[in-house]
Structure 1
């Protein structure tokens, strides 16, 4: 039987919630842009709609992988590439409070819904999943 070599399993090595403390709000600089995640593609990549109106394929940098979990609807800061305009690199993920602060400072436009599952370019259709029970009764009576 193997000997126990440590003081616990891998959960102990992971540590507690280290990202809980408040951090300073980081604004965009030259060569950077704010974006909202449209969908996750896997393999450390995602589609993002940038604030400048361009949809880009973004790559999550290695320092963020398996430490910062990015999901659909999140507000992120991306570093633009000089040689490829349709691709970018994810530099930072803003939490909900930071994204609301960016919106309050006027960095993000008003049409963005902060950390919502519906990205900014999602189209809303009134008849998607709504129906009226009275209409169903009328259809049944006609049959």
Structure 2
């Protein structure tokens, strides 16, 4: 009976080099895409917040919230990914902080998903059921209150 040793160091070193090359590629892709993303987000926020007419329009309210969440996500979480792909190490040494980072990552994902869903419903209300936002009380109840639930 012959014994075959399938675990060689050459396979492991090739895998490590391939993984490092893949992470290096991801680093450059993230880096090149995050810069225009931040510029576009800041440009849109600048115009939505400084132009009074745009700021007061009902359909821009949820978009401003979504842009702020995406800006926070890009500045914090994507920066952590870029650092990880560059150095192969996370920022945090303490495992609890890594768990918090993962939890915040998933919560922002769920928050964005729910806000996109609400924006879709809100557009439907604004177009087809404008009587629901005809008074101040109805506007607060049907427009401003639901995203905070």
Q: Give the TM-score normalised by the residue count of structure 2.
A: 0.22
**TM-score between both structures, scaled by the size of structure 1:** 0.23
Q: Which of these two proteins has the greater Rg computed from alpha carbons?
A: 2
Pick the structure with more strand per residue. Answer: 1
Bigger proportion of residues as helix: 2
